């Protein structure tokens, strides 16, 4: 099983709403990621969790709040978003290799977020 | 720091023709290299990966890629393109860490 499951697939929210995006994997991966992707652009890294701890925050505004409740789940809490935050949000996971190892990331299908 | 360059924004090919998508990387040591494909509104699917060893890598859907250290390249090839191959293709690298960094992508257009 190489599946990363994201819910919901589509989300429309107002600028005063609070919502959450969810991501789940059962591959035993200990690294999980959130990426943001605008149309016709590559994915941009937002956050990385390693062993359930936040290891990278790419200077993301605080209106995005990640959470990793356990090794299989990753959430992204959204509050007071702006219309420019509308994008495809992708979750990914991977193993954490040893010093000389490599590993591939597996991506979910994404959540299409529209902020109105 | 690592970086990945995809020089072509769009590539147009006829169905049945061969395909080569270019990717150049910048990293001092041997990088870990990947090609992903993305259909509109979908997530990214891994086509193939290179970590070490044989420089010609076979992937899914009939794709292959060749790692050339002397040219800092990892070009993606397919001998005969199908209309269903039309999509966005991303080259990625995780040299130095396990976190993939993406090139800007190449949009493949397939003409019947």
Weakest mean pLDDT among A33-47, B58-72, B96-110: B96-110
Measured between CB atoms, which of A42, A96, A108 is closest to B98?
A96
The yes-or-no verdict on residue A5 having pLDDT over 90 is: yes
pLDDT at B95 over 80: no
Whether B109 contacts chain A with CB within 8 A: no
Q: CA A92, CA A76: separation in Å to the nearest integer?
A: 13
pLDDT above 70 (res A31): yes
Q: Give the pLDDT of residue B3.
A: 87
B99 touches chain A (CB under 8 A): yes
Contact of A41 with chain B, judged by CB distance below 8 Å, is answered with: yes
* B39 closest CA partner among B100, B83, B92, B5: B83
A101: pLDDT confidence band, cut at 50, 70 and 90? low
Share of chain B above pLDDT 90, in %: 77
Radius of gyration of chain A (CA): 14
Computed over every residue of chain A, the mean pLDDT equals 94
Residue A101 touches chain B, beta carbons under 8 Å? yes
Q: What are phi and psi of B60, to 5 degrees?
A: -85, 165
Q: How far is B108 from chain A (nearest CA, A)?
A: 12
Q: Cβ atoms within 10 A of the Cβ of B99, count? A: 20
Least confident of A14-28, A88-102, B43-57: A88-102
Of the listed ranges A44-48, B28-32, B89-93, the one predicted with least confidence: B28-32
> What is the pLDDT, as a whole number, of residue A100?
62
Residue A81 is encoded by which pair of tokens?
């978003």
8 Å CB contact of A42 and B104: yes
């Amino acid at each position: 099983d190489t599946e990363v499951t994201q819910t919901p697939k589509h989300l429309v929210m107002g600028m005063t709403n609070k919502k959450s995006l969810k991501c789940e994997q059962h591959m035993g991966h200990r690294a999980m990621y959130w990426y943001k992707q605008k149309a016709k652009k590559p994915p941009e890294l937002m956050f990385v969790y390693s062993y359930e701890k936040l290891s990278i925050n790419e200077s993301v505004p605080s209106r995005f709040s990640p959470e990793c409740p356990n090794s299989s789940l990753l959430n992204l809490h959204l509050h007071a978003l702006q219309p420019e935050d509308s994008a495809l949000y992708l979750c990914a996971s991977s193993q954490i290799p040893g010093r000389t190892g490599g590993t591939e990331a597996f991506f979910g299908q994404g959540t299409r977020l529209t902020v109105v | 720091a690592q970086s990945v360059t995809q020089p072509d924004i769009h590539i147009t090919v006829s169905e049945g023709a061969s395909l080569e998508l270019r990717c150049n990387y910048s990293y001092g040591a041997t990088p870990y290299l990947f090609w992903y494909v993305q259909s509109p509104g979908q997530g990214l699917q891994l086509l193939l990966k290179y970590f070490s060893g044989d420089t010609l890598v076979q992937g899914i859907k009939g794709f292959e890629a060749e790692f050339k250290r002397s040219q800092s390249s990892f070009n993606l090839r397919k001998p005969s393109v199908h209309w269903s191959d039309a999509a966005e293709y991303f080259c990625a690298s995780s040299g130095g860490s396990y976190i993939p960094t993406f090139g800007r992508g190449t949009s493949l257009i397939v003409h019947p």
